[in-house]
Structures are given as structure tokens and as C-alpha cells.
Amino acid sequence: MPGLVDNCDAGFVMSMPHMTAPADGATQASAHRVRVAVETPQHAGMADVLDYLAEAELPPGTLLRVPLGRRELPGVVWPGEPSAEEAANALPAGQLRPVREALLALAPLPPAWCQLVEFTARYYQRAIGEVALAVLPPELRKLDNTGLAKRLKRLHKQMGLPDPDAKPKKRRKADLQPEPEAVPEVPASPPVRPALTTEQAEVLARLSPQFEAEAPACHLLFGVTGSGKTEVYLRAAEQALAAGRQALVLVPEINLTPQLEARFAERFPGRRLVSLHSGLTPAQRLQNWLSAHEGHAELVLGTRLAIFCPLPRLGLIVVDEEHDPSYKQQDGARYSARDLAVYRGKLERAPVLLGSATPSLETWQHARSGRYQLLTMAQRVGQGALPAVRVVDMAKQPTPGQGQEAPALCPPVLAAVRDRIERGEQSLLFLNRRGFAPVLNCGACGWKSGCPHCSAWRVFHKLDRTLRCHHCGFAERVPKACPDCGNLDIQPVGRGTERLEEQIATLLQDVERPGGGSVRVARIDADTTRHKGSLEEQLAAVHAGEVDVLVGTQMITKGHDFRRVTLVAAVNPDSALFAADFRAAERLFASLLQAGGRAGRDAEAAARSEMWVQTWNPQHALFAALKAHDFTAFAASQLAEREMAGLPPYSHLALLRTEAREGPVAEAFLQQARDAAQAWLKTHGGADVMLYAPVPPPVAKVAGLERRQMLIESPSRGALQRLLANWLPELHVLRSSLKGIARWAVDVDPLSI
């Protein structure tokens, strides 16, 4: 969805009555009316910016504690004047409730932050108060002024900053004596900066003028894996810091944060660097947020929520692996951090750098059209070659005997792995499915390990002998016999990373490492990295050469610099090739190209590095493009198909999702919502907006709730937004009139349909 910034002034805020709570008996004569953004209940039909009375005039962005009903909630003084409708519905000052407390210990949130939040709420069809409060640290929302002042004092002490509230000490007689001559400090050696490649130097030369430009552009850094994109990020951040500005660097997942943080800390010793992600404790997250908000932190690294971190001197935004779907929030306000980064860069006049070896097709189209500046790095650092891609036709491989399971690796791939072990090199096996097996099956009666709460199978995890649903989390012990017929012989069907790890260890048990000893197989996935520090420990073992074969999911296929890996094998990519989502091929190509990019990152071993792909569909055009490492050709073919089908980036989508205890109830809600939308379009003219019939998603039931969805499509972003803004108030009314609806939500620019 890059390009949404073109509509930032279109005025899509939905109109709702301006309601406030009754007064608490405060003195009205000297009070000031303030507009406050609070998180109001959706079903109440209240505006999310309410009027309160304050004893003094408060600047916009000030944090408050305000009453709402019987509760006391956090709020933010919101900028701007009320609309004509709000002014007409406003209550007189005598009926307004007073602000309980203003958190004056903290500097007000900057105007640019308020604009970013308001745009997010407007575009993604959420309430301003909901977005504004949700993106603040949870710990901050609980504090009063006294507690906040203590946190700030503690922060200043940890950073060695003077306490602004401290009284000056009286000078004693001893203090008047001349101080001994200071011993000059030995300057620390400057950090080592690798020499730039020709392509890196050219990219930075094009970026440099952007730090002085009145309206900096958004750039797509399209660089093959191993081309040195991180070094470009470091040099760009260096330029921002030299200009006295702050740099914000976004990564798609928490597991990429520590290693990138280490790179930045090594390059910028003495600079204040903080991280923001959900892996931090509430206290750590608040401290890092305060450090950034007050301007003390010069470098901020984080996942998608960090896009809302207030930075008073923002000078650069980097979005690493910009194509990654993790940048899209999947609950609440379903925003895209990548797209908001583009908007924020334009808003705060900071250059934006989107980096990827496999850009999203929306971003790629914007770069082709000239909306974004395209920066290309087509060569690996050290002139290393990309791994040779070999596609194996599984239909031509030996078939197992009756009752036997096919081996995890076909003979050519297994031979390649053995060869790497004998040379003291590492192999990486990529299978994007965790657990031991996707399902348990009874051959006698056909029973399968389904989830009683979801329309999905429970995955067999052998390590703890459980059947676990990856949708609702329901787990129980593996039955000793088939629950339906009592058959003792229930078998796992399919293969996950846990089973692949076990089978690989068996297949390689006769292989001896060069220094002696058995082959060392390790697995990295969500199950093996649950505990704090476990991921860092396992990655350190891989980097140290203590692992010969690494098995893992997509966690290990992006952002990691494995210098000893010379072989990557994709074990079963076909499961993602024919998914119902129109983005399936794009995602698979990105995953495979990123996985292959882990091999041959050491220039000396690049010539003998390989990627093997086991597939039953070798004739698919995706694999031809993969063999040539040709993203450009793949993107051109996909964009041609999208244009013919009228799919993004050539159209704009929204999904109305609903959940209910019974499927017919969910369908009735969507059908009535569709009728209401079509009636509005007929009255106001909206022939270019298409509303499809309600359908169930691929997993139609989760945690006991039936799910249904309805797609809305339009070639015009403005037409789609106008419909949504006028339609949502009717949906609130419709929701209250139907019994049995658990929840509903609108997803603008959905990543999957």
C-alpha cells in the first residue's frame, strides 16, 4: 500500500456525535475547555475526542488522567478545533467534567506524533483515542504525575544527566580549592569501517543530498542478499547523527533486533542506542520510550510499534526487509508500519530507506513508476557469487516401498549435505512448518487429530508428547490409542521441523566429521527459542561452527550472516505454492530467495555454494526465475497477472471480518452490512466500488467462533475510503441489533484474503 500518503489530506474522519460526561462540581469560572483523546467503548457511539475542563490552558500532546463514567483513564490533549457538527453538539461548560491530573512531568507529545496518529486512525478506520493510547507504553498509561517524575529522575540518573529539579548545593570551603590538573583521556580507537564497494558508494552519494533536502524522497534499496545493505544503513545513520538528528531503524521480527543492535552499538560507541519491541519488560520499554521521546536516544531500533515512537529530531527512517508481512498489525488497528514510515518521512521531512532483496510488488511498482527512488546493488560484497539453484523433480526420485515413508531428503540433496559435512562446512534445511507432524492419523477408522475448537488440525509435538493447536493454543497429551476405535497404531502424517531434525540425524549417523565425532544437528524455530536468550545462544553456536546441519523455519532465512553455510535446501515448498491467497507465489519466491541468500556469504566459498529445492512442480515459472536469481523477471510476470485480474497494486482492498458463535449469524451480519453499503453507494454514486458476497476464510472456525469475511474492492483509494468512513457508523448500529456477534473489524489493505 505505499502511496497512501497521497490521500493524507482527504478528510476521511467519520462523523460521530460529540458526547461528554456530566460535571463533577469543579469551579467553572477559571477553567479552560480542552479536547482530549480517550479510548471510548465502541458500542457506546461516543466521539473519541471529548471535552473536559482544566484549571489551566494545556498544550496539545499533554498526557492526562480523566474520568469516563466510573473509571479513570489516560488521555491526550488533542490539537485542532472542533468541527461545526461537534461545536453544535458541544455541551455547555457547566456540564463538563474536570481533568483529574495533567502529567506535566513529561514534555507534550509532538505535533507530528499527533498527526501520525490521526492519519493512522483515519486511514485504517479506527478511533483516534484507540490508536493514540494503544501505541503508548502500557506502563506509561498507568502512571500518575508523581510516578512519572520518579521514572524520569531515574532515567536521568542512569544516563548521567543532571536532575532538573535538584537544588544547587552550597559550596563548601574545600570546594574553593583549585582542582588538580585533569589527566587527559586517551581517545578511544575509532570503530572499524569496512571499505565501501562501488555500488555502496554510489548509493550513499545519491542519499547524501537527501539529508539537506526540503522534501526528502522515499528510496527503495534493492540489493541482492549479501550486497551490504546493513553497511548502507550504518553510513546513512552516521550522516543523520552528524547533522544532530535521530535515526529510527525498523526490523520485521524481534529475533533480528539483537544482532542488528550489536552492529549499531559497535559502529557508534558512546552514542545512546535503545530498542523497542514486545520482548522487553514493561519497565524497559517505558525507559527506552522516554529516552527517545526526550531526545536522549540518538538511535532507535524496533519492530513495527516503534514507528509511533516520538522522536523530536527525527532525521532518518530505515525499514529493513520491507517486504516482510510482520510489518502489518493483525489485530486492533491493523496498520502497516512500512506504509506509515513512508507517511511519517514525508510528514517530518526525513529521508526514508526501504531495503529488501525481494521488495513487495506494491513497493516495486512505486519504484518503477518513479514515486520512489530506486537504488540498486546487484553485486555481493567481495564479488562473491550467488549460490547455484538446483531444482529437484521429486516425481523422478526413487519411490519408497509399500508402507514406507519417503525420506526427508532425496538422494542428490542428501549427498550434497554429506559432502558439506566432510568439508567442514554447514548446511541449512528450510521447512516452514514447526512441530513433529501436522496431524496424527488412525489408519483403521480414519480419525485425525482435529481441534475441537477450530477447523484445523492439532500438530503433534513429540518432545513433550502433546497435540497442540497453533490457532487457539489448545493442547492435550497424545492419546495412547485412537479415541474413536481404540486402535493402538496411530501414525504421524506429514513432516515438521522437529521430525525433520530427527530424521536428518538418523540419515547422517554414519557420517564422521573431519575432526572426528558424529554430525551435530540443531533446530531453530518458535518452539526452541521460547526462553529468553535461547535464540542468541543457538545463533552463537552456528556462527562458532558448532553446528553442521541447521534445521529451521523462516526465522533463519532472513537477516542472518552465516559465514560457514554453503548449502541451503528447501525441503517442502510446494505447500505454500498453491495457497488460495493471490500473494502466495510472491511470498514463496521471497522466502526461497532469502533462504538461498544465507549460502555463500563468504567470498571464498561462494563458488561452490548451492541451493537445492525439492518440488513436485519443477515446471512452475517461479522456479525458473529462482534459478536465475531474477527478481525483476518474476515481479514483471506477477504484476502483469495482477493488472489483468485487477488486484493490488492496481486496485485497493478492504476486508470486513466478523466472528460469531454460529456461522449463519456471522453471514447475516455481513449480508446486512453489504446491503447497507450498496444502498449508500446507490445514493452517493460509487459504481467503481465492488462488494463481494460473504465467504468463510481458509480456517473458518477458531477458538469456538465461526469466522466469515467480505471483500470490498475499488480501483480508487479515495472512493473506497469514502465508503468506509460513512459505512462504519451503520455497522456499529447493526452490531447492536444482532445477537450473537462476538466481534467485527475492518482490515484496510489486507495482506491475505
Residues of each annotated binding site for Zn(2+): 442, 445, 451, 454, 469, 472, 482, 485
Residue closest to 389 by CA, chosen among 189, 631, 212? 631
Whole-angstrom distance, CA of residue 289 vs CA of residue 267: 22
Which amino acid appears at position 388 of this protein? A
Distances (CA, A) of 329 to 252, 260, 334: 11, 22, 5
Distance between CA atoms of residues 204 and 375, nearest Å: 9
* Alpha-carbon dihedral sign for residues 137, 141, 143, 145: positive
* Pairwise CA distance, residues 298 & 292, whole Å: 7
How far is Cα 540 from Cα 536, in angstroms, rounded to an integer? 6
CA distance 631 to 247: 29
Instruction: Give the Cα separation of 567 and 600 in Å (integer).
Output: 8
Q: Name, in order, each residue with C-beta under 8 angstroms of 681's C-beta and a sequence gap of 6 or more.
A: 687, 689, 723
Q: How many CB atoms lie within 10 A of CB 332?
A: 13
Please state, in angstroms and rounded to a whole number, the distance separating the CA atoms of residues 375 and 209: 14
The residues facing 138 across adjacent strands are: none
Binding residues: 442, 445, 451, 454, 469, 472, 482, 485
CA 172 to each of CA 177, 180, 288: distance values in angstroms, whole numbers, following the listed order:
10, 17, 37
| 154: nearest Cα among 247, 284, 246, 61 | 284
Query: CA separation (Å) from 255 to 136, 273, 555?
Result: 22, 17, 8
CB-CB neighbours of 353 under 10 Å: 27
Residue for cell digits 526540503?
A: 214
Residue 453 near residue 702, CB atoms below 8 Å: yes
C-alpha cell at 668: 447475516
CB 423 within 8 A of CB 511: no
Q: What is the DSSP string of 469-480?
A: -TTT--EEEPPS
Compute CA 417 distance to the chain's CA centroid, rounded to the nearest angstrom.
33
Helix H, strand E, coil C: the string for 251-312 is CCCHHHHHHHHHHHHHHCCCCCEEEECCCCCHHHHHHHHHHHHCCCCCEEEECHHHHHCCCC
Question: What angle (nearest 5°) sits at the alpha carbon of residue 459, between those of residues 453 and 464?
Answer: 110
Greatest alpha-carbon span in the chain: 97
Q: Which secondary-structure segment (H or E) carries 491?
A: strand 490-493
With b for 16 or more beta-carbon neighbours within 10 A and e for fewer, the 717-750 pattern comes to bebbbbbbbbbbeebeebbeeeeebeebbbbbbb
Asked if residue 320 lies in contact with residue 559, where contact means CB atoms within 8 angstroms, the answer is: yes
CA separation (Å) from 183 to 177, 178, 186? Answer: 18, 15, 9
Cell 528447501 belongs to which residue?
Answer: 570
- Sign of the torsion angle spanned by Cα atoms 78, 81, 86, 90: positive
